[in-house]
Amino acid sequence: MLLTPNAMGPRLRIGLYLTTAVIALFLLLPIVFIVLLSFGSSQWLVFPPPGWTLKWYEQFFSNPEWMASVLTSLKVAVITTLCAVALGLPTAFALVRGRFPGREMLYALFTLPMIVPLVIIAVAVYALFLKLGYTGTLFSFVVSHVIVALPFTIISIINSLKLFDQSIEDAAVICGASRLQAVYRVTFPAIRPGMVAGALFAFLVSWDEVVLSVMMASPTLQTLPVKMWTTLRQDLTPVIAVASTLLIGLSVLIMVIAATLRRRNEASA
Amino acid sequence: MSAVIKESAAADQRPLVSLRNLNKHYGDFAAVDNISLDIKEGEFLTFLGSSGSGKSTTLSMLAGFETPSSGEIQVEGKSLIKVPSHKRGIGMVFQRYSLFPHLSVRDNIAFPLSIRKIPAAERERQVDAMLKLVQLEQFAHRRPAQLSGGQQQRVAIARALVYEPRILLMDEPLGALDKKLREELQDELRHLHRRLGITIVYVTHDQEEAMRLSQRIAIFSHGKIVGLGSGYDLYQNPPNAFVASFLGNSNFLKAQVTGNASVQFEQQPLAIRPTSALQNGQQVLLMVRPEKALVLVQEQAAQTPLPAGWNEIPAQVSEVVFLGESLTCSVVTPGGCSLTLKALSNDLQPLQAGTRVRVRWAAADACVYIEWNESDLTKGAGSH
C-alpha cells in the first residue's frame, strides 16, 4: 500500500506537514533574513530591523568598487557559460556516440570536478596560474570556473542526447542532409532543453563561485562573491546584505527560467 | 494474387541494385555472410527473417549507415560503397517513424526539398501533392506528437517520397502499429507501390506482411539468404527444409529411399515426386503442408478409392482445434510421427481424440529434401 496523505490518517498527516514546514523554514530563513536585513535601517544587522530604508542600496549602487565587481561577475559568468557549452557539446557527443576504449573512464574524468573538494582544485589552479602569472586576470577566472561548470553542462547535455532517438538524425541524413547539417538542423533543436539547462547551470556555478575566485582575485579584479568576502573581513555593513540579495535574486531568476523551460518542454513532448 | 502475376512483368527487367558478396563482420560474428542479390527496377522485395538474421544490417548497408566489411553494392553498375548516405538519393522509412519533433507535418515533408534548395513555390507544390497522396492535408500544421501512429508513419512515407527517390527502404515501418491499422497501411502501401512504380526494399519479421506486400521475398537466416522468390513459390516449393518450416506450417516425414520415385515410411511404401540423384537406402525428408493433406475416418476411406498418385497412411487423432473458418487436427502415426492437418470447417466431420483415421496426400504436393539440419525442422530456428 502506498503511504499517501489520505491513507495515513489526520495525526500522521499533520505531523508530516509540520516536519515539511520546519525543513522549508530551516532552508529558507537565512535567505529571508538577509533580504529583510538589506532593507533594515540598523547599521549592525540587527533583527528585527528597527526601521526600513533603501540607503544601503544607494550605497551599493553608487560605489564603483561594488559595481565593478558585479560587472566582473557577469562578464566571467557569461564567458564561462559560453565556454562550458562550446566544450560540453562536443564532449557530450563523443561520450554518448563514441565507440572507443576508455569511454567510461573519460566520463568519470570529466565529472571529477564535482567530487574533488573545491579547495584542492583551487590550490592546484592557483599554483599553476601563479607560475604563469595569470592570477588576477579575467582569463584565470574563466578557466577556473569552466573547470567546475563543465561537468554540469556535460551531464545535462548527455542526458538529453541519450533521450534523443538517433534514427531521427539518420532520417535527416538519408533525406539529403550531411551529418553536420543533420546535427545542426535536427539534433540541436531536439536537445536544446538540455543545452539551455546546461548553460544555466554553468552560469549559476560561476555566479555563486567563491573558493576558486578568492584565489584568482586581485585587489583590482574581483567578482561579487569575492568582494563580499573581503568586505566582510573588514566590517559587517548591511551593504553585504544588499549584495547577497542581488546574488540570490539572479540565482532564483535563473532557476525559475530553468523550471519554466523544463515544464514547457515536458508539455510539448 | 496480383503480386504473383506482376512477378513475370518484373522478371525481364535489368537489376537496379546489385549486392555482390556482401559481408559485415562484428569481430568474429558475421552479421551478413556473403550475400549476393539483384533487386529489379520497380519491384517490391521483402527481406524476411527473425531478429539477428542480418536483414536490417543489409538494409543499413544499402542506406549507407553501415559500411560493409567486404563486397560491393551497385546501383545501375555504379558502386555505392564510397557514396555517403546523404548523396545516395535513397528514401527510407524507419520503424519508429523518426519524424523531426520540432517541425510541423508540412515542414517535415519539406525538409528534403529545403536541404536541396528547391525554390519555395516549387517546394510548396510538391509538399501539397505529397500531403494529398497520404491524405494528411488537414493535419499539415500539426506537430508529429499530435498525430496517431498511423498518421505519423504516413508522414514518414511522404517525407521519404517527396524527393522522388528511385529506391525506397522500409525498416519494419508498421511494426509499432496494431494489427488492424497495420493491415490498412499494408493495403495503402501496395497501392502506392503500384501507382508510383518505385523500387521498394522492405524489412519485416512478419511473414504474413511479407506475403501480403511483396513480389519477391528474400528469407534471411544467420546472415545468409536461404530462400528467394515469390511468396507463392517459396510457400509451395520451399527450396530447403528451413524455408519450409519458417514459412507457414509444415509436416515433416523421414523416409527411406527405395527408388527414384518411391520411399518407405514406417514399413509402408509411399510415392514421391521423381527426384534425381537418390540412392536406395538413403534417408530423405518429405514435407507436406497441413492444408494439402486430407483426413478421412475409416469408413470414408473404405468408400472413397485412393486416386492415382496419392499416398495414404494410418494415424490416430490426438487433438482437434476449431478455429472458426478452419480447424486443425493433430494426428500421430503408429511410428510416433506427429502431423498437423488443416481443413475448412465444412469439409471435415467432427472428430474425437482417439479416432482412427487415414491421412491422404498427393505425391506431387510433397516436397523432398535430401539434406537438412535437425534444427531447421523446428519453427523459429533462425532466431538464434
Q: Are A167 and B143 inside 8 Å of each other by CB?
A: no
Q: Output the pLDDT for position B287.
A: 94
Q: Do A170 and B98 touch (CB under 8 A)?
A: yes
pLDDT score for B109: 95
- What residue in B sits closest to A174 (Cα-Cα)? B86
Sheet holding B216-221, edge to edge: B90-93, B167-171, B199-204, B44-48, B216-221, B224-229
Q: In which region does residue A220 sit, left (phi positive, over 0), alpha (psi from -120 to 50) or beta (all else)?
A: alpha
Are residues B92 and A177, on separate chains, in Cβ contact within 8 Å? no
Rounded to whole angstroms, the Cα distance separating A57 from A151 reads: 36
The confidence score (pLDDT) of residue B8 equals 46
- Closest CA–CA distance from residue A250 to any residue of chain B (Å): 30
Q: According to the model, what pLDDT value does residue B317 have? A: 92
Domain boundaries, chain A: 64-234
Which of residues 59 through 118 in chain A touch B, CB cutoff 8 A?
Answer: none
- Grouping H, G, I as helix, E, B as strand and the rest as coil, residue B35 is strand
If we measure between CA atoms, which residue out of B204, B107, B213 comes closest to residue B162?
B107
Categorize the per-residue pLDDT at A269 as very low, low, confident or very high, splitting at 50, 70 and 90.
Answer: low
Show residues of chain A in contact with B115, CB under 8 Å: 172, 175-177, 181
Q: What is the Cα Rg of chain A in Å?
A: 23
Chain A interface test: which of B62, B80, B86, B152 (most A C-beta within 10 Å): B86
Inter-chain residue contact A269 with B99, CB threshold 8 Å: no
A38-56 exposure pattern, b = at least 16 Cβ within 10 A, e = fewer:
bbbeeeebeeebeeeeeeb
Q: Would the CB atoms of B111 and A189 count as touching at under 8 Å?
A: no
At A252-263, the pLDDT tens digits run 999 898 888 878
**Cis, peptide link before residue A48, omega less than 30° from 0:** yes
pLDDT averaged per 10 residues in sequence order, chain B, 384 residues: 45 79 92 94 94 92 94 92 92 92 94 94 94 91 92 93 93 87 89 91 94 94 94 93 91 91 90 87 92 87 88 92 86 91 73 88 92 78 38
Compute the nearest-CA separation of A172 from chain B (Å): 8
Measured CA to CA, the distance from residue A155 to residue A147 in angstroms comes to 14
Position A48 scores a pLDDT of 83
The verdict on a CB contact (< 8 Å) between A173 and B86 is yes
Distance from CA of B181 to the nearest CA of A (A): 23
**Topology of the domain comprising A64-234:** MetI-like fold (1.10.3720)
Q: Residue A233, class by beta-carbon neighbours within 10 Å (0-12 exposed, 13-18 middle, 19+ buried)?
A: exposed
Contact criterion met (CB < 8 Å) for B65 and A170: yes
Q: Given this model, what pLDDT does residue B10 score?
A: 46
| Nearest-CA distance A193 → chain B (Å) | 12
- Check whether A202 has a pLDDT greater than 90: yes
Q: What is the pLDDT of residue B349?
A: 66
CA distance A105 to B309: 72
Cβ separation A172–B100 shorter than 8 A: yes
Nearest residue to B202 (alpha-carbon basis) of B56, B367, B10, B34: B56
- In chain B, residues with a C-beta closer than 8 Å to the C-beta of A173 are 65, 85-86
Q: Residues of B at the A interface (Cβ-Cβ below 8 Å)?
A: 63-65, 84-92, 94-96, 98-102, 111-112, 115-116, 143, 145, 156, 159-160, 163, 169
Check A174 against B159: CB less than 8 A apart: no
Q: Are strands B44-48 and B199-204 parallel, antiparallel or unpaired?
A: parallel
| Tens digit of each residue's pLDDT (9 = 90 or more) over A61-89 | 999 999 999 999 999 999 999 999 999 99
b (16+ CB within 10 A) / e for B165-177? bbbbbbbbbbeeb
Residue A268: pLDDT band with limits 50, 70, 90? low
Answer yes or no: do B100 and A170 touch at CB < 8 A. Answer: no
Cell of B348: 471435415
For residues A147, A149, A150, A156, the Cα torsion angle rounded to the nearest 10 degrees is 160
pLDDT at B259: 86
A183 touches chain B (CB under 8 A): no
CB contact under 8 A, A165 and B115: no
Q: Tell me, what's the pLDDT at B1?
A: 40
Cβ partners under 8 Å of residue B372, min gap 6:
B240, B241, B242, B285
B44-48 vs B216-221, strand pairing mode:
parallel
Residue in chain A lying closest to B90 (CA): A174
A11-57: pLDDT as tens digits:
888 899 999 999 999 999 989 988 998 998 888 888 788 889 899 99
Q: Which residue among B63, B96, B145 places its CB closest to the CB of A174?
A: B63
Nearest CA in chain B to A168: B98
Domains B2-243 and B249-372 share a fold: no
> How many helices (H) and strands (E) would you count in chain B?
10, 20
| Domain map (residue ranges) of chain B | 2-243, 249-372
Residue of B nearest to A178 (CA): B86
pTM score: 0.81
Q: Do A176 and B92 touch (CB under 8 A)?
A: no
CB pair distance less than 8 Å for B86 and A186: no
- Distance CA(A211)–CA(A258), nearest Å, equals 25
CATH fold of B249-372: OB fold (Dihydrolipoamide Acetyltransferase, E2P) (2.40.50)
pLDDT at B379: 62
Which of A174, A180, A185, A266 to substitute to test the interface with B, most B CBs within 10 Å?
A: A174
Q: What is the CATH number of domain B2-243?
A: 3.40.50.300
Mean pLDDT of A76-104: 94
Query: Residue A118 pLDDT > 60, yes or no?
Result: yes
**Span A206-214, average pLDDT:** 92
Q: Given a cut of 60, is residue A165 above it in pLDDT?
A: yes
Residues whose CB falls within 8 Å of the CB of residue A221, separated by 6 or more in sequence, listed in order: A72, A136, A137, A138, A141
Cβ–Cβ under 8 Å, residues B377 and B367? no
Nearest to A171 among B64, B94, B102 (CB): B94
Q: Which residue of B84, B116, B145 is in closest CB contact with A269?
A: B145
